[in-house]
Amino acid sequence: MSTETTFLARVKSSDLWYSFTRHRTAQGAALLLLILVLTAVFAPWITPQNPFDPAQLELWNSELPPIWMEDGQWPFILGTDNQGRDILSAILYGSRMSILIGVGTVVLSLFVGIGLGLIAGFFGGWVDNALMRFGDVLLSVPTILIAMLVSAVARAALPDHLKDVGAGFVLILALSLSAWVQYARTVRAQTAVERGKEYVQAARLLKVPARRIMFNHILPNTMTPILVAATLNFGMAILSEATLSFLGIGMPPSQPSLGTLIRFGNQYLFSGMWWMVIFPVLQLCLLVVSVNLLGDWLRDALNPKLR
């Protein structure tokens, strides 16, 4: 019996899988998210052009409406912008960037939040106080404001040749700066409960080092609420990133995210090219809604009190 089959068998026999098979909304959301992620990841192989390679753009294709309208043209299903850029391709490339930044933010803030939360909850005392009050301070300032501050500073500080490359990393850093606090609080609360339980005392009797008690014993028992928070925050991170990009302090035009696309589209809204803004907005909505629906289902499915 290989580990793979046992893992599959465990997934199939789990309560979570059972709940999933009975939950239409979760299935729909998962399917939608799967499609969105796959099309975004494989965008370079399925789109007719790389919309951000100027050499592939033809000016005579510019300002074409979606294909079902009078002047629509194959292969520009959702029309083109003022430079002849295929909107659908731009959206898929943009989703790619948005998802990347969303995942990056969740991973970084999870890493920091879980680590600091474990330390605060396990050791308690002044370490706990210092870390949690620092988190409180960060939370008392709106996320967007912190992110704006960080990206503005980074923009000024980074040398020119790093600006475009580093923009994504700066955004991830900026968004993670306040996102970790929520994980840290959740993990800390759970850790403080688990720390007093007898199985931790049993490990202490064996002189198991604190680091191993934290990671091997306590961490697995704090993961359920973290999983839910991470899913919901993934949607939040994508939205925050879109907000920053819309305001012009997020991703640069050379590697746009959905927010950047919406900003451009917004500028051309009054010249009648509604498809430049509506479709990126729709994509953003679908992405966030599917993530949030999944997160809601997960929260209910993992909460034994709601069964």
**Which residues contribute to the site for other proteins (CB under 8 A)?**
197-199, 201-208, 217, 220-221
Q: Which is nearer to other proteins, 7 or 199 (CB)?
A: 199
CA distances from 296 to 23, 80, 146, 291 (A): 11, 36, 27, 9
Provide, rounded to whole angstroms, the least separation between the CB of residue 218 and other proteins: 9
Distance CA 150, CA 174 (A): 6
**Separation CA 223–CA 133 (nearest Å):** 23
Which CB atom, from 59 or from 205, has the smaller least distance to other proteins?
A: 205
Q: What is the rounded CA–CA span in Å between residue 222 and residue 79?
A: 48
What is the closest distance, in whole angstroms, from the C-beta atom of residue 213 to other proteins in the complex? 10
Distance between CA 117 and CA 132 in Å, rounded? 8
Q: Which is nearer to other proteins, 220 or 248 (CB)?
A: 220
CA distance 226 to 212: 20
In angstroms, what is the minimal distance from the CB of 95 to other proteins?
Answer: 35
When the beta carbons of 159 and 209 are compared against other proteins, the nearer one is 209
Instruction: Kindly state the tokens that stand for 143.
Output: 């996320």
> Smallest gap, in angstroms, from Cβ of residue 296 to other proteins?
25
CB of 113 to other proteins, least distance (A): 20
**CA of 48: how far to CAs of 85, 117, 282, 302, in Å?**
10, 46, 21, 42
- Closest to other proteins by CB, 207 vs 305, is 207
